[in-house]
Structure formats: structure tokens, C-alpha cells
Structure 1
Amino acid sequence: MRIVRALTAFVVAAALTVAFAAPSFAIPQKGSPAPPLKVVSTSGQQISLANYRGYVLVIDFFATWCPPCRDAVPHLNGLSRKYGKQGLQILGLSLDDGDEDVLKDFIVSKRLVYPVALAGHDIQTDYGLRSLPTVYVIDKRGNVADRFMGGSDATLKNMENLIKKLLAEK
């Protein structure tokens, strides 16, 4: 009997620990409004989701120390150059720990052609980030079109196909 009580107490304690130990990371779903964001770019520009209404927006969550994130930069720069005049916008949101000098050096060394800002913990939670890189594609109405994780060639190709489809929509 003592073993059953001890086991029950352990299960209850474990369940409460899981339930209350970590914040909830809800992942925005396809078709739902993109969570709001307000950031200041490394160049001092105030940026909010409202700035991108009417555009297809790619939000790239990355870190300067993340090899797959670094590898994705040339592809994102290429997308910006290829589709920018058709209405594509890219926003890089760094998860680096507040060191803006490291981030600025990264921007220069990788020749990023799109704005970059530090993503605060609220934004990370709102977008349910669990791994890097994570890219959200937001449609012209501000809704989540899809989320892509990792930087494989297949992932990048699927993302570009979605971008082309969204740009063609009125």
C-alpha cells in the first residue's frame, strides 16, 4: 500500500512539475493571425507587423552561432533580390543574447540585404520557437501561411514555392 501511495505521489508531483515548470509555447497555426511583434532594427528602425501589411513576409529566426542559420543567409538574400520588387519582405530576428555588436558584425560579414533586429523573449514565446533556424511565412493579410524548420535544400525549395504562390495572390 505504501508503494502505491508513494508512486501516486510521485506521478502527481511529476505532472505538476511539467505543468508549471515551463511556459507554454503555443505554435501559431496556418491561417491564424501572426503574433504581433515590435522590434527596433540594428539600424534604429521601428518595426512592427503592421509595417508589412500587403506584403509577403518571411520572418527568419536565427542566431549568429547557428551553422544552419548561417548557411541559410545566401538563400534568403537571393529570395529578397529575386522577389523583393514583387512584394516579398524579409525580416531577420536574432536570438543572440543582446550583443548588438556581434549581430552588426554578422550582418556586414554575411552581407544581409534585409533588416535585422534582436528578438525578445516575448516574441520567442509568441512564435513557439523550439529550434533554429525557424522561418515563418506570413501572407499579405498578416496570417501565418506556414512555418519551416531547418535549412535543408528541400525545405528552402518548399518555402520558395509557397512564396511564389502567395505573391501571385491578389
Structure 2
Amino acid sequence: MDKKQRRLIMRTSILVLLGAALVFSLYANFTKEKVAAVQKGEMARDFVLTDMDGNTHKLSDYKGQGVFLNFWGTWCKPCEYEMPYMDKQYQKYKDQGVQILAVNVGESNYSVKKFVEKHYLTFPIMIDKNKQVQTAYKIDPLPVTFLIDKNGKIIDKLTGSLSEESIQKHMERIKP
């Protein structure tokens, strides 16, 4: 076999591999499940996550209470800004039937634990390790907060950092 034939075989092989990769990519894209973003007025999508203390939280278990569902990351400065305000309002509203569930989007236990300790946070913080909840709620960018009423219905979706005053107003909106 001469040099030209080997080069032709090599180029043909590479071309076949690239074609196969393209076909697979198109197939994967067209067959993947399309998840619509959660909308105001819809029922909140249920999930089960474990918090930093090892306690399991199922969203539907909070029926009858208002839920301030917050998605966040330790690297997100707007998230860091609102966390102390959320904790202060949590202390005020947790006995009035309003809960905060904070879902970290897939970071390590170590970085989340350090963040929680730094800010003295007391509300339940869970890590969405495989990003299933983030995908179910179509979260991007951070922070995003869903206000869920006592019946499990989403009454609002808030994007961006919240002031302490606005957090308090939103807690009042979902108080049973």
C-alpha cells in the first residue's frame, strides 16, 4: 500500500467518524425531553432534596404553608447579598407558616458549608447535585426565587437579588 492509499483511508475514516458524531448529536438533540419553564399560576414541580444536616425535604410536604423557593450559588454575588436578609425574614416568618427552601445549584458540600457558616444561615439549604431540580424549574441566571402559596401554586417568579424590604413583602404575599 502506498502513501496515497494510506492517506485516503485515514481521511475517509476521519470523515466517517465526524459524520457519525454529527448524526448522534442531531439524534440526541431531537429526542431529548423538552421541559417547559415553570410559569406563574402553575402548580410547583415536586422534588426531594437533602439539606446540609441530612434532613430530607419534599416540596409537597410543605402544602398548607407558603414557600420561598430560592435557587442560588456561592459564587453568585447577588445571591450572597440577599442571603442574610432572607435569614432575618425566615426568623420572623417561619412560625407564621412561611418557609424558605434554598437550593444550591450543584456545588460541593464543602463550599456550601463554608458559605452557610460565613453568613450564619439557619434556613434549610439543599444542594441539587445532579441539577435535576434546576432543570425542572429551568433556572438561569441566578438568583431566582419562586413564591409558592399554601396550595402549592406558583404565584410569582422573581429574578435577581432582593432587598430585605422586598423579601418581607413577598413573605407577606405567601403567608397562609
Normalization by structure 2: what TM-score?
0.76
- The size of the alignment, in residue pairs, is 149
Give yes or no for the alignment of 1:163 onto 2:162: no
Q: 1:29 aligns with which of 7, 30, 39?
A: 39
CA distance in 2, matches of 1:103, 1:118: 8
Q: 2:57 aligns with which of 47, 51, 76?
A: 47
Q: From the superposition, tell whether residues 102 and 157 of structure 1 become closer, same or farther in structure 2 (CA, over 3 Å).
A: same
Distance 2:95 2:162 in 1: 26
The 8 Å contact of residues 28 and 34 in structure 1, kept in 2 or not, is answered as yes
Find the residue that maps to 1:26 and give its secondary structure.
coil
1:62-141 mapped onto 2 (5 Å cutoff)? 62-97=72-107, 99-119=108-128, 120-141=130-151
Tell me if the contact between 1:34 and 1:142 (Cα under 8 Å) persists in the aligned partners. Answer: yes
Query: How far apart, CA to CA, are the structure 1 residues paired with 2:98 and 2:105?
Result: 23
Structure 2 vs 1, CA of residues 21 and 63 (structure 1 numbering), >3 Å: closer, same or farther? farther
Q: Which runs of 5+ in 2 are unaligned?
A: 1-25
Kindly, what percent of the aligned residue pairs are identical?
Answer: 27
Paired letter, 1:166 = I
Residue in structure 2 matched with residue 5 of structure 1 by the alignment: none
- Structure 1 outlier segments of 4+, above 4 Å: 156-159
Structure 1 distance, partners of 2:125, 2:43, is 22
Cα distance change of structure 1 residues 27 and 160 upon mapping to structure 2, 3 Å threshold: farther
Report the 3-state secondary structure (helix = DSSP H, G, I; strand = E; otherwise coil) of the residue aligned with 1:68: helix
Query: Which residue identity is paired with 2:64?
Result: G
Displacement of 1:24 in angstroms is: 3.6
Q: Quick check: which has more Rg, 1 or 2? A: 2
Name the SS of the counterpart of 1:58 in structure 2: strand
Rounded to whole Å, the distance in 2 between the matches of 1:22 and 1:63 is: 26
| Structure 1 counterpart of 2:67 | 57
Q: Is the 8 A contact 2:40 2:156 kept in 1?
A: yes
